[in-house]
Amino acid sequence: MNRPTDKQIEEVLAGVATPEDAKFVAEWFATEEGNTYLDAVMTREAEHLKAETAEIYVDHTIPSEKMYHQIQKNISRKQIKRICFRVAAILIPVIFLIGLYIQINSRVDLFGTTEYEEIRVAKGERIQMMFQDGTRVYINSDSWLKYPKKFGLSKREVFLVGEAYFVVAKNKKRPFIVNLNGPSVHVLGTSFDVQAYPENKDIVICLDEGHVNLTLSSAKEYPLLPGEKLIYNKESDQCRIIKNDHSKQVSMWKDNVISFKDTPLAEVVKALNRWYNVNFKIEDEQASKYVYTLTSDNTILEKVLQDLEKIAPVKFEYDEVRKEVTVRMKQDGKK
């Protein structure tokens, strides 16, 4: 659709536009171009607000009720009035546009008071979802993601336990943060896989596109470039970055493809346990000395086990009733 004139946009944001112009501008705001424009306006207004009232801000998010008391305590009624007018300049068009077919208020949380939702992906399942800013996330089996109903103006933060692949919508003024229970991944716009299962000693991040930083609780930062893998050991608090020649292979799970590259048996059975929600019992520890390289889009468990048996002299016996796989060496010792 055609872009409204600057005058039409300004009148709508000021609340003095005609109903016809308001409807026209509201429909334009619903487009990608209009949404980007409105997001920039709201960000700019928020920056002005922070600059004029810096003394009332703290270095962490506080509920709106506490913020109100903080404002009352630190500034005069005149300053409060000025703040209210500035906030209204942001809120009025949002509320107005809701009545005109757009739900911008559901996308932005001005004061960081939003509620959170959680999604738990059971073993044997994988899901894909999209956030209000256009960011897509694929969540792997046995994983948990906590996210706000509305992202804040200054940042977009989610909390992850397990594994997920993120395709983050770019917004330089609102970085995307994946909190990993201590360490956190800071993103502007990129595609990457992060694996942070609590029982694993390592957090692994594989970057496909863009640029990310892993920030530790000690404030240390580790930048990552495309084609690199970052491995952070939670026990030793050590981090190393290596070249990842098989970066695409890491995230094949989101396309329902099972993939292993020189993977020890212990890691193979752990992955299959999450993928199929079946238990594995290794009866012969000698079987653990073998590693596996396999890529298969045939996700029937019995077929995957047959393919694994072709790689090493190891036998996988699946009991469908008990949902358990027994792992032992083949008697003849041959593949």
What pLDDT is recorded for position 256?
87
- pLDDT band, residue 245 (cuts 50/70/90): confident
Query: pLDDT at residue 329 above 70?
Result: yes
Query: pLDDT at residue 314 above 50?
Result: yes
Q: Residue 228: in which H helix or E strand, if any?
A: strand 228-233
Q: Distance between CA 29 and CA 13 in Å, rounded?
A: 11
User: Rounded to the nearest 10 degrees, what angle do helices 19-29 and 32-52 cross at?
Assistant: 100
- pLDDT band, residue 202 (cuts 50/70/90): very high
Q: Distance between CA 301 and CA 279 in Å, rounded?
A: 12
What pLDDT is recorded for position 44?
64
* Helices within the chain (DSSP H only): 6-14, 19-29, 32-52, 64-74, 77-98, 247-250, 265-276, 301-309
Token couple for 253: 């799970």
- pLDDT band, residue 34 (cuts 50/70/90): confident
| Phi/psi of residue 61, nearest 5 degrees | -70, 135
- Between residues 33 and 61, which one has the greater pLDDT? 33
Rg of the chain on CA atoms, in Å:
25
% the chain with pLDDT above 90:
43
Amino acid present at 111 = F
- pLDDT band, residue 290 (cuts 50/70/90): very high
What pLDDT is recorded for position 296?
86
Amino acid present at 74 = N
pLDDT tens profile 5-29: 888 887 776 666 777 777 787 777 7
Going from the N-terminus, what domains does the chain have, and what CATH number goes with each? 6-109 (no CATH), 116-249 (2.60.120.1440), 256-329 (3.55.50.30)
What pLDDT is recorded for position 77?
45
- pLDDT band, residue 71 (cuts 50/70/90): very low
- pLDDT band, residue 140 (cuts 50/70/90): very high
- pLDDT band, residue 101 (cuts 50/70/90): very low
Q: What share of the chain is helix, strand, coil (3-state, %, to 5)?
A: 35, 30, 35
| Phi/psi of residue 69, nearest 5 degrees | -65, -35
* 163 and 193 Cβ atoms separated by less than 8 Å: yes
Token couple for 274: 């999450």
Residues composing the chain: 335
pLDDT tens profile 261-288: 899 999 999 999 999 999 999 998 899 9
Mean pLDDT of 80-88: 41
What pLDDT is recorded for position 99?
43
Token couple for 86: 């500035």
- pLDDT band, residue 42 (cuts 50/70/90): low
Q: What is the DSSP string of 132-184?
A: TTS-EEEE-SSEEEEEESSEESS-EEEEEEEEEEEEPPP-TTS-EEEE-SS-E
* 160 and 195 Cβ atoms separated by less than 8 Å: no
Cα–Cα nearest to 326, from 274, 276, 291, 287: 287
| Phi/psi of residue 304, nearest 5 degrees | -65, -40
Cα–Cα nearest to 99, from 15, 193, 168, 166: 15
% the chain with pLDDT above 70:
74
Token couple for 120: 């738990």
User: In the predicted model, what is the mean pLDDT of the chain?
Assistant: 79
pLDDT tens profile 104-130: 444 555 455 568 899 999 998 999 998
What pLDDT is recorded for position 45?
56
